[in-house]
Amino acid sequence: MTSSAARSWAEAQAGGFALSPAAADLLEELYTPSLPAAAAEFDREVAALPADHLPTWGLTSRRPGTGADLLLDGLDHDTLRRVLVWSLATMPPYAGPGEAAPARTEEEVRRHRRIQRHFSRSALDWDGATLPLLLRTCALGPRPSDLAVNACAKAPRHVLAASADTVRAVAAHLEEWLVSVPAEDRDREQAHHRLLGALLELGEAPASLDGLCYAGDRFFDRLRAARPDLLTAPGLPALLVHSLQPFHGDTWRQGLPDLLAGFTDLDGALRGFLEVALDLPDLPEPVPALTARDRLDHRLPGHVRHRGEQYIGVHAGHLLRGMSELLPLLDPVPRWAPDLLRRLVLHLGVPAAGRGPRALDRARSFLLAFNRLPGPESLAALVEIRSELRDRTAVGYADATLRTVADRMGLSAAEAAERTVPAHGLGPDGTRTERVGGHSVTVAVTEGGVALRYTGPDGRTGSRAPRELAAEHPEALKEAKDRAARVRRTFKAEQERLGALGDHAPALGVWVSSYLEHPVTGPVARGLAWAVDPDGRPGTPERDGGHWLLRADDGGVLLRTADAPPATRVRRAP
């Protein structure tokens, strides 16, 4: 029970700062006899801070000497904690058009925020009496405080347990807003994520994903429609909450074993969740947007946008990345992982017909998972990804990932080069045909080079695009020409690489798959002379049914791949 002095002080503060009844109730519980004087002096000293002191105060150094520094240094820990809660509780709500101006000026608010930010990064301890009060400030205004959320994340387990009711209540308050308002408010979302993580640490795992299905989130809307069974899949809600926390470092990995033990079908749940991203429809035109009324009703600043403006929003993107980060840590790694990651990167990172990439930033995050998935399947997936991406930054990511995977596989530079030649979607015969309108457009690789051919409905084939094709399908025609240009660049690079092979002698299986039968490299390799390493006679490759042979100029057979030892190596003939 609070005293009359506490109530009188809280009412005076509420009147002076135009606070809500909830804020007044919080201040009444916050009251101690020493708090009013300390809060008033703190307010005066913050207002007196010199303007040139603010850029560093609370960020890089405290610069002892100002009245605010001296005051804060002299407060006992309990009073300091309560002054900070008071500072948060007396922050004004957003004043939109037609609303009364806040009691604090913009400059005063900015100064208080800087000091709050400093203590959100400090090692200040919170106890079971003040942490619940701090957390309650998250429900007072439009912006949950980093100070409150970080204090909750850093709190010892016994303090967190003593505050569990408040953590639960504030998380529910944020969830109610997030599942009903389609605004991507990252402050609220991150606060909700951290509070759910705190509850998970206390052993409270959600029974379903309903609380993570934020309003307007296209991914979760599709999940509800296509895979409602995943909403309550055993183990998945807890794992996703765990993945909402920062997943870098040992803490995240150490928490996984217990969570994975709660699954009855881990493979099915992970794969099903990731595959939803492949099933999303393209963004509508026009894309959803927040109205001025939305911003006023929900007190939203200008930078906040509708969740549906992105193909995959930040919230769902973080969860998808968490699941992809998990795949390399599983033992064994699912056999489907490299192929599914490849499909996700291509679906999100390659321009759709007539549009740009659906979600390039999400595609890049899936690329990162390949760094810890060395193996021939990952290498093959990355080669295809590398050949299809257009964005230079994404191509750089793919190149770096290819190098990492090749290094972890122990491949030399020459071995990595021969195994990472893109096929550009060409078939084994070196061609790729697509239907564009009533025409067939074919890219074909031969020993002589790369050609782009057009076949009309009448069966006539030419090397120039028909006028009606250019007029009716300009985007598809441009894509076909771009693909042909990429194939030509690869073909030229392979001519140069094979011309400079030197003493490198690929193993028999690699020589067949990466040289003779490769859609782009094959026409080059089949026109060259080869010899069995180390001192065999030169010969040229020929088909031998489903195998290959190496025939000398005099007609003799130097090698048959059908019965040659696998350890055989073949090199360019001098």
The contacts of residue 127 (CB under 8 Å, 6+ apart) are: 78, 81, 159
Helix, strand or coil for residue 298? coil
Measured over the CA atoms of residue 320, residue 323, residue 328 and residue 329, the dihedral's sign is positive
Two tokens at 322?
């968490």
pLDDT for residue 455: 93
pLDDT for residue 247: 61
Choose between 193 and 475: higher pLDDT.
Answer: 193
pLDDT for residue 59: 36
Q: Which of 30-44, 92-106, 127-141, 323-337 has the lowest mean pLDDT?
A: 92-106
CB atoms within 10 A of CB 16: 10
Mean pLDDT of the region 187-198: 92
- Counts of helices then strands in the chain (DSSP H, E): 27, 9
Query: Using one digit for the tens of pLDDT, what is the confidence trace for 230-277?
Result: 999 999 999 999 998 876 667 788 888 889 988 989 999 999 999 999
Q: Scanning the structure block, which residue is given the tokens 């470092």?
A: 249
Whether the predicted pLDDT of 58 surpasses 60:
no
Mean pLDDT of the region 550-554: 93
pLDDT for residue 65: 60
CB atoms within 10 A of CB 61: 9
Whether the predicted pLDDT of 527 surpasses 70:
yes
Whether the predicted pLDDT of 72 surpasses 70:
yes
pLDDT for residue 47: 84
**Pairing mode of beta strands 439-446, 431-436:** antiparallel
What end-to-end distance do the CA atoms of the chain give, in Å? Answer: 96
Whether the predicted pLDDT of 456 surpasses 50:
yes
Measured over the CA atoms of residue 34, residue 35, residue 40 and residue 45, the dihedral's sign is positive
Residue 84 buriedness (CB in 10 A; 0-12 / 13-18 / 19+): buried
534: preceding bond cis by omega (within 30 degrees): yes
Could you tell me the pLDDT band of residue 52, with boundaries at 50, 70 and 90? low
Residue (of 306, 144, 350) closest to 215 by Cα position: 306
Whether the predicted pLDDT of 64 surpasses 70:
no
301: preceding bond cis by omega (within 30 degrees): no
pLDDT for residue 2: 64
Two tokens at 197?
């993580």
pLDDT for residue 146: 86
Whether the predicted pLDDT of 31 surpasses 60:
yes
The contacts of residue 386 (CB under 8 Å, 6+ apart) are: 395, 398, 399, 402, 420, 422
Is 0.85 topped by the overall pTM? no
Q: Scanning the structure block, which residue is given the tokens 């509420």?
A: 14
The contacts of residue 294 (CB under 8 Å, 6+ apart) are: 181, 183, 300
Two tokens at 321?
């990345």
pLDDT for residue 494: 93
Q: Scanning the structure block, which residue is given the tokens 């997943």?
A: 247
Helix, strand or coil for residue 206? coil
Q: Which of 119-128, 222-231, 455-464 has the lowest mean pLDDT?
A: 119-128
Could you tell me the pLDDT band of residue 215, with boundaries at 50, 70 and 90? very high
The torsion angle over the Cα atoms of residues 464, 467, 468 and 471, rounded to 10 degrees, is 110
pLDDT for residue 170: 93
Backbone angles phi, psi at 463, to 5 degrees: -100, 0
pLDDT for residue 571: 94
pLDDT for residue 19: 87
DSSP string, 357-416: -S-HHHHHHHHHHGGG--SHHHHHHHHHHHHH---HHHHHHHHHHHHHHHHHTT--HHHH
Task: Tell me which amino acid residue 365 is.
Answer: S
Query: Using one digit for the tens of pLDDT, what is the confidence trace for 145-158?
Result: 889 988 988 899 99
Whether the predicted pLDDT of 399 surpasses 50:
yes
Whether the predicted pLDDT of 178 surpasses 90:
yes
Beta bridge partners of 549: 542, 560
Whether the predicted pLDDT of 356 surpasses 50:
yes
Mean pLDDT of the region 132-143: 87
pLDDT for residue 98: 46
Please state, for a pLDDT cut of 70, what percent of the chain lies above it: 94
Choose between 315 and 142: higher pLDDT.
Answer: 315
Whether the predicted pLDDT of 95 surpasses 50:
no
Please state, for a pLDDT cut of 90, what percent of the chain lies above it: 61
pLDDT for residue 335: 93
Measured over the CA atoms of residue 49, residue 54, residue 59 and residue 65, the dihedral's sign is negative
Two tokens at 467?
């006028």
* Average pLDDT of the chain, as a whole number: 89
DSSP string, 111-158: HHHHHHHHHHSS-----TTTHHHHHHGGGTSSS--HHHHHHHHHS-HH
Choose between 232 and 73: higher pLDDT.
Answer: 232
d(CA 152, CA 159): 9
The torsion angle over the Cα atoms of residues 96, 99, 101 and 106, rounded to 10 degrees, is -10
CA distance to 440, 468, 478, per residue, from 461 (Å) = 9, 15, 19
pLDDT for residue 102: 62
Whether the predicted pLDDT of 94 surpasses 80:
no
The torsion angle over the Cα atoms of residues 142, 148, 153 and 159, rounded to 10 degrees, is -130
pLDDT for residue 106: 79
Could you tell me the pLDDT band of residue 91, with boundaries at 50, 70 and 90? confident
Mean pLDDT of the region 122-143: 88
Query: Using one digit for the tens of pLDDT, what is the confidence trace for 491-520?
Result: 999 999 999 998 899 999 999 999 999 999
Could you tell me the pLDDT band of residue 127, with boundaries at 50, 70 and 90? very high
Mean pLDDT of the region 5-34: 93
Q: Which of 105-114, 216-225, 426-435 has the lowest mean pLDDT?
A: 105-114
Beta bridge partners of 446: 449
